[in-house]
């Protein structure tokens, strides 16, 4: 197929075939149309304000004031500063979804995050509440690495081997509602980066194996560094290969089947980053997220969820030095918030979450002004049956011992 040029302002989505090679590039005008092959859509039925508009902040303030208590704005920690300044609540994905559920009087929930986060909020809120994602193109590459069809194929393979009944699925919060529903239907639970150890320990009381979705690094790091399993107890399921690219014996002997997915931000950090940082900055402490690669987590001083990373810096003594391996917006915010501590970014190159950054101030202003004008835009609604079983998986997480 001849190469295609990609004009500025176009978004692209790669499609892959079973041999793992790229076969097609589908182009979409950013903010227009719908990608039916994707588990998320793209829509923006109106002209966005210009990012250079000098009155943009005032427009945001006016729209927010007009909406009043009818709306709440949720801002994920990785969000741009221009957006986070308008957030009523900041936090990680599950904290924000819970906050929406606790504020049932808010008719509109503007979720400044990514698609799976807004789905979780829709699952947990009342039918009367309307969850809005300012830009539907704000997806999550990790969540998209495990499609419902692929996971169904994997489960069928485990059934064919006679081990599905003894395998408990655990899915990371960073997954689509469809994957959460699959997990709920098959006796499993959702986990976050802070409770993955509890979720996996619980799963082993329910069955002999775990199918961990979709982040291989969180699953591997938790199994080995928290539960004391060996690396050899874990196998990697490649959804693009027959039977995950594994032999029947490899699958049967494994205790944890890891899905071949990862975070495009946290997966960038390397052992070399740590070694160079220690050589360049005497006394530096390395603080990383458990979505990082195993050798990175194994060589860090402190490992923790986004909330734990924030707490670690906040509780650290004045004058301490930290190199943080997580999304750059958060690291920059921590450096500004704690000027008496030296907070460095672990990677030497810029590492923003590109999909999270699609939620910008123009999209937030457009969404709010649309609501003020009586137009409901970009509503996230999870189909009832999917929401039912996804909620089962979420409730199992909340009931973890």
Q: Are residues 41 and 110 in the same domain?
A: yes
Residue 157 · residue 243 · CB < 8 Å:
yes
Q: Does the residue 329 lie in any domain?
A: yes
Q: Are residues 43 and 84 in the same domain?
A: yes
If you search the block for the tokens 């009043």, which residue do you land on?
68
d(CA 105, CA 342): 41
pLDDT value at position 275?
97
Domain that holds residue 337: 266-345
d(CA 352, CA 80): 9
Q: Does the residue 1 lie in any domain?
A: no
Q: Angle, nearest 10°, between helix axes 328-337 and 306-315?
A: 20
Which of 248, 264, 280 is the last residue in one of the domains? Answer: 264
Q: Are residues 170 and 191 in the same domain?
A: yes
Q: Does the residue 70 lie in any domain?
A: yes
pLDDT value at position 44?
59
Q: Are residues 152 and 65 in the same domain?
A: no
SS (H, E, C) the chain: CCCCCCCCCEEEEEEECCCCCEEEEEEEECCCCCCCCCCCCCCCCCCCCCCCCCCHHHHHHHHHHHHHHHEEEEEECCCCHHHHCCCCEEECHHHHHHHHHHCCCCCEEEEECCHHHHHHHHHHCCCCCEEECCCCCCCCHHHHCCCHHHHHHHHHHHHHCCCHHHEEEEEECCCCHHHHHHHHHCCCEEECCCCHHHHHHHHHHHCCEEEEECCHHHHHHHHHHHCCCCHHHEEEECCCCHHHHCCHHHHHHCCEEEECCCCCCHHHCCHHHHHHHHHHCCCCEEEECCCCCHHHHHCCCEECCHHHHHHHHHHCCCCCEEEEECCHHHHHHHHHHCCCCEEEECCCCCCCCCCHHHCCHHHHHHHHHHHHCCCCCCEECCCHHHHHHHHHHHHHHHCCC
Q: Does the residue 387 lie in any domain?
A: no
Which of 299, 318, 345 is the last residue in one of the domains? Answer: 345
d(CA 326, CA 323): 10
pTM: 0.84
Q: Does the residue 247 lie in any domain?
A: yes
pLDDT value at position 43?
54
Q: Are residues 133 and 255 in the same domain?
A: no
d(CA 286, CA 355): 26
Residue 397 · residue 196 · CB < 8 Å:
no
CA atoms within 13 A on the CB side of 331: 24
pLDDT value at position 316?
98
Sheet with 321-325: list strands edge to edge: 302-303, 285-288, 321-325, 342-345
pLDDT value at position 153?
97
**CA distances (Å), origin 196, targets 74, 247, 279:** 24, 27, 32
Q: Over the stretch 336-359, which tens digit does the pLDDT of each residue have? A: 999 999 999 999 877 778 888 889
Split into its structural domains, the chain has a count of: 3
Q: Does the residue 399 lie in any domain?
A: no
pLDDT value at position 46?
60
Q: Does the residue 277 lie in any domain?
A: yes
Q: Are residues 156 and 124 in the same domain?
A: no
Q: Tell me which residues of the chain have a pLDDT lower than 50.
A: 1-41
Q: Over the stretch 354-389, which tens digit does the pLDDT of each residue have? A: 888 889 999 999 999 999 999 999 999 999 999 999
Q: Are residues 133 and 14 in the same domain?
A: yes
Q: Are residues 83 and 129 in the same domain?
A: yes
Burial of residue 76 (CB within 10 Å: 0-12, 13-18, 19+) is buried
Residue 28 · residue 13 · CB < 8 Å:
yes
Compute how many other C-beta atoms are within 10 angstroms of the C-beta atom of residue 399. Answer: 9
Q: Are residues 205 and 253 in the same domain?
A: yes
CATH number at residue 246: 3.40.50.10800
Q: Are residues 260 and 270 in the same domain?
A: no
Q: Does the residue 290 lie in any domain?
A: yes
Q: Are residues 148 and 170 in the same domain?
A: yes
**CA distances (Å), origin 259, targets 10, 43, 171, 230:** 30, 30, 10, 17
pLDDT value at position 92?
85
Q: Are residues 68 and 88 in the same domain?
A: yes
């Amino acid at each position: 197929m001849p190469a295609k040029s990609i004009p500025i302002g176009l978004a692209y989505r790669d499609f892959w075939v079973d041999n793992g090679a790229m076969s097609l590039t589908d182009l979409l005008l950013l903010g227009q149309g719908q990608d039916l092959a994707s588990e998320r859509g793209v829509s923006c039925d109106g002209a966005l304000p210009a990012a250079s508009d000098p009155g943009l902040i005032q427009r945001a303030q006016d729209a927010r004031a007009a909406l009043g208590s009818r709306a709440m704005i949720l801002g994920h920690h990785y969000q741009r500063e221009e957006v986070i300044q308008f957030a009523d609540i900041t936090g990680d994905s599950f904290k924000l979804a819970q906050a929406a559920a606790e504020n049932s009087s808010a008719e509109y929930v503007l979720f400044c995050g990514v698609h799976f986060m807004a789905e979780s909020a829709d699952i947990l809120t009342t039918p009367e509440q309307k969850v809005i994602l300012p830009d539907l193109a704000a997806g999550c590459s990790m969540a998209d690495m495990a499609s419902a069809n692929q996971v169904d194929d994997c489960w069928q393979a485990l059934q064919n081997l006679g081990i599905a009944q003894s395998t408990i699925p655990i899915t990371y919060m960073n997954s689509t509602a469809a994957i959460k529903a699959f997990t709920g239907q098959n006796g499993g639970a959702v986990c976050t980066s802070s409770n993955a150890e509890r979720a996996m320990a619980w799963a082993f009381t329910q069955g002999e194996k775990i199918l961990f979705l979709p982040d291989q690094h969180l699953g591997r790091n938790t199994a080995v560094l928290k539960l004391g399993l060996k690396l050899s107890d874990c196998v990697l399921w490649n959804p693009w290969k027959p039977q995950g690219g594994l032999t029947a014996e490899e699958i049967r002997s494994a205790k944890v089947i890891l899905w071949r997915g990862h975070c495009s931000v946290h997966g960038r950090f390397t052992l070399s980053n740590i070694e160079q940082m220690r050589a360049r900055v005497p006394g530096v402490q390395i603080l990383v997220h458990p979505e990082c690669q195993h050798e990175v987590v194994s060589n860090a001083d402190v490992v923790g969820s986004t909330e734990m990373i924030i707490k670690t810096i906040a509780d650290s003594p004045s004058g301490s030095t930290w190199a943080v391996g997580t999304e750059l917006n958060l690291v920059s915010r921590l450096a500004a918030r704690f000027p008496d501590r030296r907070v460095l970014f672990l990677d030497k190159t810029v590492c923003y979450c590109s999909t999270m950054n699609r939620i910008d101030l123009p999209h937030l202003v457009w969404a709010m002004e649309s609501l003020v004008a009586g137009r409901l835009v970009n509503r996230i609604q999870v189909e009832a049956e999917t929401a039912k079983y996804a909620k089962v998986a979420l409730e199992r997480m909340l009931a973890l011992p």
